[in-house]
Chain A
């Protein structure tokens, strides 16, 4: 943080930031198209709904170029390698929760999320964490649904009460 990075810059372009620049360009195009579509609709105000999106699309386009230019300068700082497995576990937890929620209810779905996240951080076994997580989430459900009148998705477990 304190010393400027030595002469690694200029050596090889930063691929990841190129991808980010590309994503920004795509986003700029999407919003630009949207602005173009909105501009075609007659508007009765001095400034219609298309003006602000146009500005943002232009800004995004310029930033895509700026990011690409910075990417050309090369990697500023060597980024430590990220591990993929833990990320996959956490994502599996989140996706699994979305899939389970409609029919299994809040406790089971969120119990799975807890177990998968714990596994992602290297703590197993999954089934034990699932049971503990589901029990914990059931208690949370009771507190929130009964105490604070929040409607959380109910499943077979929740219908017992």
Chain B
């Protein structure tokens, strides 16, 4: 297929006035929730899923992608001005960015984050458009055993990449896998782990779990923190424009960050955190004034922010081409596709080319919108941070329950929301990552399906799982992912990133 022809076609879809409105709405909403503490892009998309059920699929997915990108921009604003990263991939941005803001250089910090995100987002989206068709070509030859291996890889990378230890990541993953068992087994018609409760026969809703873990769990843990979570907002003083030296110091970190972020995000290697930490370590090493690091070095904002956004685009490669979500937001977006009866994967490129390429093209548009909107509107975003927390979290819970009730007006569903909310609180409290639970719930049933398909073809002979070279390569990568944090420690000299509220 001619990539540029397809992309041009996609651009026509994305430029339809209605889709432009959706993209605009998505980036505004995404930036707002990225700035606000406690709600990230994953939660926002999860809340919007039931509401957008009756809307046009292309428009809704374009909006979701806008929220995803907008959340990345907003997250950097929060970390620079507030020193509380809105999402875990901006933890590194907070290190130098907040120092710059305190030194009265908040403007240039925001500017280098925004422009760096634009540069990285644009290059990475081009990368996505160029790579996707190739991956699709390869993926078409995948057998069920290869898909199963791919999911094992996703499981290990997601558990190893998030959280403070592999044990914790795997624990979260297995909780998700257990929840994925609930309901009627599609192949044999047997009810599993549903204990005769009719509401459980359909299984656990992804949106209910995600909303509970992210919204209710987060609200509970912020409430429990009480007064110890006081925050200081740094006002933006001075010029928001970067001077000549800032440009000179930002340019290379942007490019390097992009080329770290995109491949790592595009591999089924889970999330945007690792490239931001790698980029920070790299810039620190390459910087001509290393003593500025720790006191507000602009390279330490430019590089990781670019890496963050490039990885965000990279994550869409496995999502769109293989149907493999490697971050919580991607997992919810997968649920969004499924809501319209579509399954991302190689076939989607053949059956719904307009939608896929429209979505990819809309990412360019979202990036341009974000660049134009972000800096002039920064004052407005900062004012969002001043919403009193009681009202903010009260509102979050109202919308969380509204979204759940809208999808399924049943009290059992609300009860599950409450129980999973408590689960989310416990996981947060004891440092267990959240994203693997959601990924486990979504990918668990798919992995089981592929496993049983592979074994049905081989009439029960498990050797088939380890015969294909593709599968073996994927298992090797999975093993690497499990021991990756150790390598990470050896290479960069610091502990692998500690996941917070990863999105």
Contacts and interface: CB of A to CB of B under 8 A. Distances in A.
Interface stretch (B256-264, B307-315, B405-413): B405-413
Given A2-B494, A86-B226, A110-B401, A123 B459 contact: no
A160 interface: no
A36 interface: no
B390 A122 contact: yes
Contacts of B222: 121
A38 B389 CA distance: 48
A41 B191 CA distance: 12
B193 A30 contact: yes
Interface in A1-57: 1-2, 4, 16-17, 20, 24, 27, 30-31, 34, 38, 41, 43, 45-49, 51-53, 56
A157 interface: no
A152 B394 CA distance: 19
A86 B12 CA distance: 51
B252 interface: no
A138 to B, nearest CB: 12
B486 to A, nearest CB: 14
A70 B175 CA distance: 18
B300 to A, nearest CB: 14
A114 B394 contact: yes
Contacts of A93: 397
A3 to B, nearest CB: 10
B220 interface: yes
Nearest to A46: B460
A143 to B, nearest CB: 10
A104 interface: no
Given A110-B401, A122-B390, A129-B394, A152 B406 contact: yes
Identify whether the interface residues of B are mostly helix, strand, loop, or mixed: helix
B190 A16 contact: no
Contacts of A133: 394, 398
Contacts of A79: 429-430
Contacts, number: 191
Given A67-B167, A144-B402, A150-B50, A47 B456 contact: yes
A70 B430 CA distance: 12
B406 A114 contact: no
A86 B224 contact: yes
Given A52-B181, A95-B418, A152-B405, A90 B220 contact: yes
A129 B395 CA distance: 11
B185 A121 contact: no
A81 B93 CA distance: 28
Given A47-B451, A144-B406, A102 B177 contact: no
B223 A121 contact: yes
The secondary-structure label for the interface of chain A is helix
Contacts of A52: 181, 444, 448, 451-452
Contacts of B398: 110, 113-114, 133, 136-137, 140
Interface residues of B, number: 68
B421 interface: yes
Contacts of A84: 224
Contact of A117 (B219, B444, B456): B219
A53 B181 contact: yes
B174 A63 contact: yes
Given A98-B411, A150-B50, A56 B405 contact: no
A133 B391 CA distance: 10
A43 B175 CA distance: 26
A74 interface: no
Contacts of B181: 31, 34, 52-53, 56
Contacts of B174: 24, 56, 59-60, 63
Nearest to B402: A140
A101 interface: yes
Nearest to B418: A94
B5 interface: no
17 contacts: A16-B430, A27-B175, A49-B185, A51-B451, A63-B167, A76-B164, A79-B430, A82-B221, A82-B225, A87-B425, A91-B220, A117-B390, A120-B393, A140-B398, A144-B402, A148-B54, A152-B406
> Which 5 A-B pairs give the minimum distances between C-beta atoms?
A123-B390, A46-B460, A121-B390, A86-B223, A82-B224
Interface of B: 50-51, 54, 164-165, 167, 170-171, 174-175, 177-178, 181, 185, 187-188, 190, 192-193, 216, 219-228, 388-391, 393-395, 397-398, 401-402, 405-406, 409, 411, 414-415, 417-418, 421-422, 425-426, 429-430, 432, 444, 448, 451-452, 455-456, 458-460, 494-495, 498
Given A30-B193, A59-B174, A82-B429, 12 more contacts: A1-B495, A2-B495, A20-B426, A45-B187, A47-B455, A49-B185, A59-B170, A59-B177, A66-B170, A80-B225, A123-B388, A144-B402
